[in-house]
Chains A and B, each alone.
Chain A
């Protein structure tokens, strides 16, 4: 939530009544479908709190990632005009033409994420540099006039926002009456800065400490690419003439590459700018951090299944590069999970989950018994226990608690071991298991990773690592395990440390061995007899070939085997775990339907199989044949699928009337058939024009009474 206050502090926000009503409605919506289960309210609340946690976390991540960039920008803005304010008398400053300080901010092609970045940027600037910030978008500024209007509106409003209580009369100057020119902005600026100077220091102490005497005016062009050249050029020319009176700073938001500045502005204009480049973090790195912090952690009970995660990542990599969309997709998964899975009530921190298990209703217990993973579990139990599990609710609850606990432990261990495995695989040549940890994660979720070929080949490669790499990797693994919260890793850490000490011992031994080999060589030099020399050389060669594995190689094998054993114990795919349905959202098809809409496919389905959308029993067909109960447009569509590129309208009408009259009476005989009913004719024409509206056909001039198909492919 945002406040209109200039200072930092604690603010109380009373929830507005409207909002509460809204959430009440959502609860009702949650309730509607699953009226059988009474846990809907709890589920809704859990879902909300979980989402809020995740939202906070993502915002924090975003802030951390942008910190570096914003710091640079802030220092640039601080410097931009101070230089001229300090030493205007110096010769160089007099002679240099005064350029407009400009920050070229390269943000990457994920335009949907930029809004958030700009919002936090303007917040940061407002807190640190200046209250005068204007954010301009290309769609608001088709001409220089609109641009000036927008700019003045934003600047003067922000002024009013700052101290709205003090001068109400300022508000009365409506925007339309002010002349939209640079001179009015300058006079406004002089007014504002003079006022802050003359004001009593006690009143303005906070603001004057943060902003200096004449804070710069920052104009941010959000989407540089979309601005027209003329508008930009005019604005820059105008403002460069007044740079002495108005300390202006421009920020260009660039999505592609900074080259666009040169292609948009001619040299005569770009020479008025003093452009510095700032580059934001790439969106791929941003996503990796998000995945790292949201998915590869035991902090949140909710988990994504392999297919769902794949869908989200694919949309990101193939289509939009938008981290915001990824988070939105994640949110959708959460809502969908809590909405559709009655047992999701248990998807909460372990302590709460245990309590909730105790208060489960009989229906919910039945729901547990119906879970496929639970059935598999029951089948593996002894027969009397099976009966107990299937009949006694209390016993079931007890077991469920235990199983849930297992699941939590599994998660904790899973993350650490996954990271450890990633340390090994990410340094192998060609990355058989993927470079990113998310790929490894997907591979592990999909099925038993140790049964895959890629895993086999990466173990092979790991067995050939050199010592220094191996040692650093082991050290990294130790760090991961030490920092992890899992309790079972004490032994593992010990074992790994033992490996490390063994490697160190090896090093010491290696020195001695070197001495040994040197002495052998010396012996070699002593031999002067040709025959003896040959003999010893042969011996040496022989010994090298059949040489046993060195100690280092033995140790390396041991290490790799140990890692392998860790993987086999801890990286079991989640859907092999009992009760995984509670935590994992796995219905990828729903998600795909929502996020990756296919309008053409949907249209085809609607026209080809109207039952899919209309749910009318009469329309249910096995496909192939055309039912005459379907809407006219469906019949016409199906008939047109059988045609070539050009469709004869007369033939089409005949076929249509045949289909429509087919059932109405087989007894009404051929007498009426050669004369098409007027009503049918009208229906046909309407259906055809509807099809034309949808863009499947268009009138053709090649042949009379023919229309052209615009789509290809038949039924």
Chain B
């Protein structure tokens, strides 16, 4: 295990830092050696990437805070325009050490202004002799801003001629960032995923004060055994651990088992965790509902999850419109004659279809269809006469706003709009059943 060593910082601080970032020691020591001493110029830009919750943000934050390096930390999702982003950096810079001073708002519209104001701020804050770190979290958002922002940040040191290093944090690789026109290549650093051992170690670190560390570690072991297959997100695991811990302790609290009785405790918690995986992990029921269930010792079965409520009640003609749209989406146009004409004659499927139609339309997904076809099918599947009233047309639009249909192409194309039906087969079968319409008989795939 590499111990952190650096001549510029006191050993006690480094030791403290090491305890704060378990399983990330090698990355931290790497960063420290890149950073160098306080007054030394560092690499102009560093790009750190790794999967969700691999500790990028946390490590950067702890590192900069513990060593008390001057830094600015900005989340690019939160500051969604370049203007907001640049202003936020300047504001944080102003308030960096002088908390008492009321920060005045500086309008900063473009990068040119930013460079000018940045120089001023650095001078006024007397930061020339130290490296200033600008950390941009969720840096992938930068690609959606103006084209000059990302390249400019990458060579900020050169542009401002100050001792500054920009650190970009992202979940995607650098290759997806590189602009067409080329740019300064940052130093890339990869944070690998935590392994199961790492997770175990990190999660066990924060045990509740009432129980011993071993007891909690055993619990974490069981938890990881259930959840590691589906979830490696540290935050989510921690959340789940906190949610279910009280259930794990139950036998101990009741005095039925002692803390070492691992097998008994496992028997108690395992089905419970499995249930949690199907419900609360998927956010089928909320964590507060889950806790309430635990407290009342209720069965999770009585609380229906979100996906249990799939039934959608629609007006009569909307149902038929949706059915017609489904048929139009999944049947080839040539088969309409066979399904909706009275005397279509006998057409066998085998000699009737072209080669490419042999693959199931349900595998290929819905195809777009024009409005006329939808209405023609509607008129033939509804038993009584349907007048083409304005209500029918507005119902089509409502189905689009409800996301049951979707418009293909531009919205402003008034003549001949084309639609797609976006509902699933199960959904449409449930709808068809309520109006006694045997949809399977009308689907080419099921012929």
Do chains A and B stick together as partners? yes
> Which chain A residues have a beta carbon within 8 Å of chain B's beta carbons?
79, 83, 91-92, 95-97, 99, 101-102, 104, 106, 108-109, 111, 144-145, 179-183, 223, 225-226, 234, 237-238, 241, 255-262, 267-268, 270-271, 273-277, 279, 282-284, 315-321, 596-601, 695
Contact of A181 among B79, B283, B390, B404 (CB under 8 A): B79
Are B246 and A257 interface neighbours, CB within 8 A?
Answer: no
A226 to B404 CA separation, bound complex (whole angstroms): 11
A613 to B239 CA separation, bound complex (whole angstroms): 70
Using Cβ atoms and an 8 Å threshold, which residues of chain B touch A260?
Answer: 403
Encode contact with A along B85-110: 1 for CB under 8 Å, 0 otherwise. 00110000000000000000100000
Given contacts A91-B209, A96-B287, A104-B306, contact A320 B395 (CB under 8 A): yes
**B363 contacts the other chain (CB 8 A):** no
**B75 contacts the other chain (CB 8 A):** yes
Using Cβ atoms and an 8 Å threshold, which residues of chain B touch A226?
Answer: 401, 403
Contact of A598 among B239, B282, B315, B387 (CB under 8 A): B387
Contact of A257 among B311, B317, B398 (CB under 8 A): B311
Using Cβ atoms and an 8 Å threshold, which residues of chain B touch A181?
Answer: 78-79, 84, 88
A221 to B191 CA separation, bound complex (whole angstroms): 37
- How far in angstroms is the closest Cβ of chain B from A707? 15
Contact of B306 among A144, A274, A275 (CB under 8 A): A275
A316 to B304 CA separation, bound complex (whole angstroms): 30
Using Cβ atoms and an 8 Å threshold, which residues of chain B touch A102?
Answer: 286
Are B316 and A241 interface neighbours, CB within 8 A?
Answer: no
Are A258 and B306 interface neighbours, CB within 8 A?
Answer: yes
A399 to B288 CA separation, bound complex (whole angstroms): 70
Are A96 and B309 interface neighbours, CB within 8 A?
Answer: no
Q: List, sorted by A's number, 18 A–B pairs whose CB atoms are closer than 8 Å.
A: A92-B208, A96-B238, A179-B87, A237-B77, A241-B75, A256-B403, A259-B306, A259-B309, A260-B403, A262-B283, A262-B306, A270-B283, A284-B313, A316-B315, A319-B317, A319-B318, A321-B314, A598-B387
A599 to B243 CA separation, bound complex (whole angstroms): 59
Using Cβ atoms and an 8 Å threshold, which residues of chain B touch A97?
Answer: 235-236, 238-239
Are A256 and B404 interface neighbours, CB within 8 A?
Answer: yes
Using Cβ atoms and an 8 Å threshold, which residues of chain A touch B245?
Answer: 92
Are B309 and A106 interface neighbours, CB within 8 A?
Answer: yes
**Cβ-closest chain B residue relative to A223:** B401
Contact of A318 among B88, B105, B210, B315 (CB under 8 A): B315
**B242 contacts the other chain (CB 8 A):** yes
Task: Tell me which residues from 232 to 258 in chain B have a Cβ below 8 Å from any Cβ of chain A.
Answer: 233, 235-236, 238-239, 241-243, 245-246
- How far in angstroms is the closest Cβ of chain B from A85? 14
Q: Which of B288, B387, B388 has the most CB of A within 10 A?
A: B288
A14 to B394 CA separation, bound complex (whole angstroms): 40
Using Cβ atoms and an 8 Å threshold, which residues of chain B touch A183?
Answer: 88
- How far in angstroms is the closest Cβ of chain A from B318? 7
**Cβ-closest chain B residue relative to A316:** B315
- How far in angstroms is the closest Cβ of chain A from B203? 10
Using Cβ atoms and an 8 Å threshold, which residues of chain A touch B398?
Answer: 109, 111, 320
Using Cβ atoms and an 8 Å threshold, which residues of chain B touch A237?
Answer: 77
12 more CB-based (< 8 A) A-B contacts, given A83-B288, A279-B309, A320-B398? A91-B242, A96-B242, A179-B87, A182-B78, A241-B78, A268-B52, A274-B286, A275-B286, A276-B289, A318-B317, A596-B391, A601-B387
- How far in angstroms is the closest Cβ of chain A from B219? 12
A277 to B283 CA separation, bound complex (whole angstroms): 11
- How far in angstroms is the closest Cβ of chain B from A338? 26
A268 to B231 CA separation, bound complex (whole angstroms): 11
A102 to B306 CA separation, bound complex (whole angstroms): 13
A434 to B398 CA separation, bound complex (whole angstroms): 29
- How far in angstroms is the closest Cβ of chain B from A553? 37
**B351 contacts the other chain (CB 8 A):** no
A180 to B79 CA separation, bound complex (whole angstroms): 9
**B12 contacts the other chain (CB 8 A):** no
**B81 contacts the other chain (CB 8 A):** yes
A130 to B260 CA separation, bound complex (whole angstroms): 49
Contact of A144 among B80, B283, B304 (CB under 8 A): B80
Given contacts A109-B398, A234-B77, A596-B391, contact A257 B310 (CB under 8 A): yes
